[in-house]
Amino acid sequence: MTPDEEKIKKQAKAIMDEFVKALDKVGDLSGEVGLEREQTTREGKKSKPDDGFRERMLTNAPKKDSDNIIAEKKSW
């Protein structure tokens, strides 16, 4: 092992040892953990259509045929 690797290994061990000591001070945390909600899902939002989307997509497409984008599998 290089001197730098040895130094990093010692620093990591020291950090881990300090963390374990800090956890020992906390004690037992056997209480319930969690969150209860009355409503578990979100209500859907209605979105308004983007009028310029179709034109922007067709402008950016390298290959197109009138209103259709021509794409080949694995050609990217």
pLDDT tens sequence across 34-75: 888 888 888 888 888 888 988 898 888 888 888 888 888 875
Any idea which residue has 């056997």 for tokens? 30
With bands split at pLDDT 50, 70 and 90, how would you rate the model's confidence at 76? low
What is the value of pTM for the model shown? 0.37
Which stretches of the chain are DSSP H helices?
3-26, 53-60
Give 71's contacts (C-beta < 8 A, 6+ positions apart): 63
